[in-house]
Amino acid sequence: MNIAIIGAGCSGLAAAHTLRDAGHNVVVFEQDRAPGGRATTRKRDGFIYDHGAQYIKRGSPASVAFITERFLVPDLIDIDKPVWIFDGAGRIQEGDPEQNAEPKWCYRSGLGALAERMAAGLDIRRGTAIARLQQGGPGWQLFNAAGNMVGDCQRLLIAIPVPQALELVKTSHMEGALQAAIGAQLSAARYNPLLSVSLGYRPRPVTRPYYALVNSDRAHAISWLAWEHEKAPERAPADAGLLIAQMAPGYSEQYWHMPDADIYRDVARRVASLIDEDLPAPCFTDITRWRYALPSAKTDADALNAATIPAGLAFCGDGFVGGRVHLAIEHGIMTGQRLTY
């Protein structure tokens, strides 16, 4: 069959390979230039940093095999140092030893290395946003915002954040009650917004016994703080360090439209206070606004796909399983297998 996938995040890429393994012709449409979704990396001013997902946890044998065998990248690393915790009052203590014993996989060149490795060899139409679908006959037609048809397929897999999938469904033409049924299912999903703030410092901040801190009671403006240069020496210039502060949903919503410069000042102040260190003014700054960062309420993928697969349509991604890279990969594999039959 000819199968189209909308979205080249890790879930869509995993599904693409699963479908190709079964002998199908697969085309992936991705609105951005780079694949991977939140598993992405930036390289600027001598810094290499993961501004979305931070690392990959060990999952099922299927996702482990994807990462460590089939799509192995030579610079795969396991972050040695542990993750510690802090509470709303800023008290820092050791994290869960069992969780810290698990692998924290990343790449010297950044998490984007996995997505690019998975994308290699696939037919991916980068920079192509799909604005409308048309169901008809034995399959689906895909249109861009200008109304031009850019693809047609016998079966279709939608692997984009659920709110975006819902908007796409609303603008599309589907037969019978399918559109309403899909909308009812997708409407249940909710995502938290996330401001991911990168702060570079010269000299390098003080070395700690941990690689990162995570807020344990959801009562602090900072939800995650990582010493990004701890991942590998290549991550920052020799005389500099880089901290990644990912802000809590409430803070992110409140400061979403604040000018970048004001956010940098406020976050830098909060970071210095949390780690009790007299940090200089940042020598490097960057910010990413992730509107659909982490699912706070998931959609029942089994019920949804049971209703849509007979029509040659399926859905996968983090909105159905949570915001972990390995879970997205596993859901892409599973959904690809279901769509094959």
pLDDT of the residue at 1: 85
pLDDT of the residue at 326: 97
Give Cβ neighbours of residue 332 (< 8 Å, ≥ 6 apart). 10, 11, 12, 13, 14, 15, 16, 18, 159, 316, 317
pLDDT of the residue at 6: 98
Structure letter (DSSP) for residue 74: T
The list of the chain residues with pLDDT below 70 reads none
Sheet with 212-215: list strands edge to edge.
Answer: 92-93, 83-86, 212-215, 222-227, 241-247, 190-201, 284-297
Q: CA-to-CA distance for 284 and 302, rounded, in angstroms?
A: 45
Domains and CATH numbers, the chain: 1-37+113-189+298-341 (3.50.50.60), 41-110+190-297 (3.90.660.10)
pLDDT of the residue at 333: 98
Secondary element (H or E) of residue 305:
helix 301-308
pLDDT of the residue at 340: 83
pTM of the model: 0.95
Q: CA-to-CA distance for 334 and 330, rounded, in angstroms?
A: 6
Per the CB < 8 A criterion, the answer to whether 168 and 133 are in contact is: yes
pLDDT of the residue at 176: 85
